[in-house]
Amino acid sequence: MNIGVDLGGSHVLAAVVSDDGTIEERSERELEDLSFDPVIDAMKFVIEDVIGKGKDKPSAIGVGSPGNIDPATGSVRYSPNFGWHDVPLGARLREALGLPVFVANDARCATLGEHTYGTGRGTANFVLLTLGTGIGGGIVSEGTLAIGSGAGAGEIGHHQVRATDGFVCGCGKTGCFEAQASGMGLIRHAVALQASFPKSMLVAGKPEKLGSKSIRKAAEGGDGHALAAWNRYTDDLARGLANVIAFVNPEVIALGGGVASAGDYMLGTVVPKVDALTTMAPKGSTRIAIATLGNDAGAIGAATMARRGGLTAKVP
Ligand SMILES: [Zn+2]
């Protein structure tokens, strides 16, 4: 068994993962301070805690971290979420724990987990897209996870779907897929449409409750403002998905994250729109499905990376 660690923007999870992808033990901690040393301390705490709970000594540790990671050293080259530049994440954990440590981007780890044990199981060509605060993703092509020459492959969230009339993305570009089609994107569409629905209380009436889920539920209930936002949102989501199909034509695109919990309602809206935008790949040759591992995909994928000795997902 191995340890999988999922480092998020607000908390860290360490899990003991068996070789069949089952989480046997877990330890979690909220992150108060996002500077490097306190985050390393929190990671050491949850890893040592979960090793203490497990039956055997782990053979290796895999870590999924936001940002661009140097796969050779496990250093984080940059991570906008944490404000880190060139921090030796892998080296510090190796030194502290005395075990092999592999580090990779969190979304690539989640893709590896979902491909090996979740919705992508058994497919040679697979894409995971996690629709949360942002959009994380990863591409498996002919059985191998795409990493890219600078470990930047799979950054699907930052291809532009509305380059001239979209929202400004956290990365600085306009109309990135992430800005338009993440959970935050749905909220932005609702806010942008407020002027067209002056009597709507969707945004103005309950700002503390405004989340992608409340907008989607209101849309399901027939609220005009929410339906208009949902319609624009799914237009942009479909654009991005059709682009992914044009580039990769995977067997399955799995949608994870908060918005994807809409399940059939989401698929019922978006699949016909994707079909309409799919022009060269045979329509229906890519199935769009909901991811099954949920928030555990990252830790399970990180442990899978540790077990294989690296991120490359060629099925052994
Ligand atoms: Zn962007």
C-alpha of residue 223 to centroid of ligand 1, in Å = 30
Answer whether residue 252 is part of any domain: yes
pLDDT digits (tens, 9 = 90+) for 39-56: 999 999 999 999 999 888
Looking at the structure, do residues 176 and 286 belong to the same domain, yes or no?
yes
Mean pLDDT of the chain: 93
C-alpha of residue 176 to centroid of ligand 1, in Å = 5
Q: With 50 as the cut, is the pLDDT of residue 79 above it?
A: yes
Judged by average pLDDT, the poorest of 155-159, 163-167, 259-263, 273-277 is 259-263
Give mean pLDDT, residues 172-183: 96
Which CATH number belongs to the domain containing residue 198 in this structure? 3.30.420.40
Beta bridge partners of 252: 126, 287
Looking at the structure, do residues 174 and 100 belong to the same domain, yes or no?
no
Give the pLDDT of residue 208.
Answer: 57
C-alpha of residue 185 to centroid of ligand 1, in Å = 12
- Whole-angstrom distance, CA of residue 187 vs CA of residue 164: 20
How far does Cα 260 stand from its chain's mean position?
Answer: 12
C-alpha of residue 2 to centroid of ligand 1, in Å = 34
Give the pLDDT of residue 207.
Answer: 55
Boundaries of domain holding 86? 2-112+296-308
C-alpha of residue 23 to centroid of ligand 1, in Å = 33
C-alpha of residue 174 to centroid of ligand 1, in Å = 7
Looking at the structure, do residues 227 and 80 belong to the same domain, yes or no?
no
- If we measure between CA atoms, which residue out of 180, 140, 183, 139 comes closest to residue 158? 180
Two tokens, residue 45: 């705490």
Looking at the structure, do residues 147 and 270 belong to the same domain, yes or no?
yes
- Whole-angstrom distance, CA of residue 43 vs CA of residue 32: 12
C-alpha of residue 156 to centroid of ligand 1, in Å = 9
C-alpha of residue 157 to centroid of ligand 1, in Å = 6
Residues listed for the chain? 316
Looking at the structure, do residues 261 and 301 belong to the same domain, yes or no?
no
Give mean pLDDT, residues 278-287: 95
Answer whether residue 314 is part of any domain: no
Answer whether residue 117 is part of any domain: no
Q: How confident is the model at residue 206 (pLDDT cuts 50, 70, 90)?
A: low
Q: How confident is the model at residue 316 (pLDDT cuts 50, 70, 90)?
A: very low
pLDDT digits (tens, 9 = 90+) for 227-267: 999 999 999 999 999 999 999 999 999 999 888 888 999 99
User: Which is it for strands 252-256 and 144-145: parallel, antiparallel or unpaired?
Assistant: unpaired
Query: What protein residues have CB closer than 5 angstroms to ion ligand 1?
Result: 158, 169, 171, 173, 176
Q: With 90 as the cut, is the pLDDT of residue 99 above it?
A: yes
Which residues contact residue 37 at a Cβ distance below 8 angstroms, ignoring those fewer than 6 apart? none
Phi then psi for residue 30, to 5 deg, are -75, 145
Q: With 50 as the cut, is the pLDDT of residue 60 above it?
A: yes
For the residues of 190-218, what is the DSSP string, one character each? Answer: HHHTGGG-TT--TTTT-GGG--HHHHHHH
Beta bridge partners of 145: 140
Rama region for 129: left / alpha / beta (φ>0; ψ in -120 to 50; rest) = beta
Give mean pLDDT, residues 185-203: 92
Report how many domains make up the chain: 2
Calculate what percentage of the chain has a pLDDT beyond 70: 97
